[in-house]
Amino acid sequence: MEERGMVIQCKACRTKYRFDETAITEEGVWVRCSRCQNVFFQLSLPGADMRKEPVAAPEILLAKVPVEEAELFPDDREEEPVPEERKKTSLWTWVLGAVLIVMLVGVGTFFLYPAAGDIVLKKVYTVFPGLEGLLPGGDSSVPAVGPAQVKIVDLKQRFVENSMMGNIRIVEGMALNASSEPMARIKVKGELYDLIGARVRESFSYCGNLLSDQELKTATEEQIAKKLSNPQGADISNDRITPNGMVPFMIIFLREPPGVNKTLVQPIEAERLLP
């Protein structure tokens, strides 16, 4: 059997109702939506003239709203489902936005603080190897700057008799910047090995710190350590070594044990020169 009644729609939530038009007077009637509780004025006919304001106040007529007589269509209770494709598009939008933010932060860090950027990128590539080449610093075309690009040349060693510590070993050489970028603060390490290949002593020094033979003969252990620990280089600047440029170094071994058979020298630190 066909249901009787006119169809009206809430002006707030757009829910449709079947309503008995005999309950509407010629002037219209106030009704309340049972879904969102919105109160609106319904004319006797949809599209009727609304230029005249209803004379009855809503607070008086709310009690007369025939909510019990209004039948809600079951199909109109549920909201329209969001298409699955729209959900996927929204998810990808969030993911791409997050990736873009991470890349912008990485780019800003790399250009504003190159040294810190290199450290962060190395850690990121360790965890996510697939990102190498996508972020700044991961491109193999970008020249690397570090101890691996420092070559030790003109290496030689000799002994000097110190008045307080006896015979001390002096290892001298040049550190060559083999990269295409300027670098600074090159640090080298020397190691002594015995006949069976065991390391028996190691010593560190920043390039550019040199002691004369007279200083080597009279200096104390504290004076020698202080002189060799200057990152800028006390005698030759260690702050700017241009590509293919060289800076001298001196490594000093104090109170070495007997039986030393081999000496090894290697670079352990080098920084990209900040602009």
- The CATH code of the domain that includes 260 is 2.60.40
Q: Which amino acid is at 142?
A: V
Residues 95 and 163 in one domain: no
Judge if 214 and 110 occupy the same domain: no
Same domain, yes or no, for 67 and 89?
no
**Domain region containing 209:** 147-272
Q: What is the pLDDT of residue 86?
A: 60
Between CA 213 and CA 193 the distance in angstroms is 25
Tell me: do 43 and 120 sit in the same domain: no
pLDDT for 143 equals: 62
In a domain, 138, yes or no: no
Considering the domain architecture, whether residues 119 and 215 belong to the same structural domain is answered as: no
CA atoms within 13 A on the CB side of 148: 3
Domain boundary among 131, 160, 195: 131
Q: Name the domain count of the chain.
A: 3
Residues 168 and 262 in one domain: yes
| Separation between Cα atoms, residue 175 and residue 7, nearest integer Å | 91
In a domain, residue 164? The reply is: yes
267, part of any domain: yes
Tokens 């939008």 belong to 93
- Residue 92 and residue 42 share a domain: no
Q: Are residues 214 and 165 in the same domain?
A: yes
Tokens of 140: 């193999």
Neighbours of 48 (CB within 10 A): 10
pLDDT confidence of residue 33: 84
How confident is the model at residue 228, as a pLDDT?
95
pLDDT at 70: 40
Pair (114, 158) in one structural domain: no
List the end-to-end C-alpha distance of the chain, in Å, as a whole number.
Answer: 87
* Cα angle value 74/76/77 (rounded, 5°): 70
- 113 lies in the same domain as 47: no
Same domain, 126 and 200: no
Q: Quote the tokens at residue 251.
A: 């490594």
Is residue 139, in this structure, part of any structural domain at all? no
Domain for residue 111, yes or no?
A: yes
Vertex 87: Cα angle to 86 and 89 (nearest 5): 65
Residue 142 placed within a domain: no
The series of mean pLDDT values per 10 residues for the chain, 275 residues long, is: 65 79 72 82 62 45 40 44 60 77 69 58 59 52 78 95 93 95 94 93 96 94 94 93 95 92 94 79
What's the pLDDT at 75?
Answer: 41
State which of 51, 76, 101 marks the end of a domain. 76
Is 254 within 8 Å of 165 (Cβ atoms)?
Answer: yes
Q: Is residue 195 part of a domain?
A: yes
Q: How many residues does the chain have?
A: 275
Would residue 257 count as lying in a domain?
Answer: yes
Of 188, 180, 183, which Cα lies nearest the Cα of 207? 188
Asked if residue 224 and residue 115 are part of one domain, the reply reads: no
